[in-house]
Structure 1
Amino acid sequence: MPGPKGVPRADIVALLSEGHSDREIGRRLRTNPKRVGRIRAELGLPQYRPIPALSLEQAWSAQTEQLDDGHMRWTGYLREGTFPVLKHCGVDYAARRIAFLIAHGREPEGRVLAGCGWRECVAPAHVTDRPMRVQLNTQYAAIFGAAA
């Protein structure tokens, strides 16, 4: 069944074999996605099934590097050159907030900072939120006094 001029069937078949959706092939080749669907059916190919996107935690893990000393380096995007940010499904997430959620199973309160002394660290076990820092400061003052 010949299609419109300029969109050879072989081009559609090639993109189908690469695993693209009918809509994507129609957009790329400027042809009707219904035509692509008909060709898919004629070839006995299954309906397009999108590959599930990585979870937020998987995407975060893919952009970290575990260091020998227990710290973790962010290898992904840095906003303003210093602030680690994960871009996932069109949304920006602070990398340390995700690390905190991984380690503690809850949303952090206030800013999340590396509590280990290395400012760039994003290791889940090293990040702290405001209530954790307040508690630590209170314990420190109780042990060493306010002057320490």
Structure 2
Amino acid sequence: MPAVETRAQKWERVARLLKKEPISNMAAARQLRVDKAFVREVREGLGMSPYRLSRDQQNWERVARLLKKEPISNIAVARQLRVDKAFVRQVREDLGMRPFWLHRDQWTVVDFEALSVPVGGGHRLWRGRFSTTNVPMAGRSETAYRLAFRLLHGREPVGRCEGTCTRKACVAGEHQEDDVMRAAEPGRLSYQGMDLVAIRKALRGTPPYPRLRPEEKRMAFRLADPSLGVVAAAVPVIQLARRLGCCDQTIRRWRDEGVPA
């Protein structure tokens, strides 16, 4: 059975490597199979300066100042200071800072506008993180498209949230639409198997109202929002329940708690 390496032995291994050649904490940790925080501790114990990916000390200081000043993504720093994104990531690691993530509940219009830039034609381009497939991301799993939609309309997009313009990766909220907005388009007869003609008749017509399937009732409730243009004004709860073929308690619950997917 192999002997267990002591902390002092591990310290000596890391110290030898750090003294041997310029190497980042991450690279040393991977090479020696030790924790990155331990490598940083050894570097500090030896009185060594943090490893610079670039020899340009001025750039390192500029990036470090911006990272310390405010929560900001690596790509936003890279674009603002015109440096490589990998260099920003290295500086963040040298400083012992965690990767940047902005929780979805914290997003405000000010946050969104700080990480995006307006361009001609009412378009908006993302300055934050992109996925490996080049999708602008506002969090671990939320796209900047869905964030822009939510900030503009005050609700979560239903189904697919896609752009309506021809500008690639445009994140302008006005240029995003979801399943509800697509279903509200005048002249559309059906959407995802739902009979939009029957839904419009139920919302705007006279009795007898067509019988709607469960998914059509939910879509009809969403389309009862006057801002979508399907109805001219808000429909009272009891009348809307009668039109959709459900009880008024269901309509009140949907208004208070949201419509189930």
State the TM-score, normalized to the length of structure 2. Answer: 0.30
- Check the 8 A contact 1:113/1:119 in 2, yes or no: no
1:99-124 C-alpha deviation (Å, 9 max, x unpaired): 01111111110111111233411101
CA distance in 2, matches of 1:82, 1:128: 20
**Which has the larger share of strand?**
1
Which structure 1 residue ranges, 4+ long, deviate > 3 Å from structure 2? Answer: 52-55
Structure possessing the higher radius of gyration over alpha carbons: 2
Task: Report deviation, 1:92.
Answer: 4.1
Aligned equivalent of 1:65: 117
Question: Aligned equivalents of 1:86 and 1:59: distance in 2?
Answer: 10
Of residues 122, 126, 146, the one that matches 2:175 is 126
Number of positions where the alignment pairs a residue of Structure 1 with one of Structure 2: 90
How far 1:141 sits from its partner (Å)? 4.5
TM-score scaled to structure 1, two decimals?
0.51
Alpha-carbon distance change, 135 to 119 in structure 1, aligned in 2, over 3 angstroms: farther
List alignment gaps of at least 5 residues for structure 2. 1-40, 45-69, 72-101, 190-261
Q: Which residue of 1 aligns with 2:144?
A: 95
Return the match for 2:166 from 86, 97, 117. Answer: 117
Unaligned runs of 5+ residues in structure 1 are: 1-27, 30-51, 143-148
2:126 to 68, 74, 82: 74
Bigger proportion of residues as helix: 2
1:56 to 91, 97, 107: 107
Higher relative contact order (CA 8 A, sep 6+): 1
Task: Give the match's secondary structure for 1:79.
Answer: coil
Q: 1:84 is paired with a residue of what secondary structure? A: coil
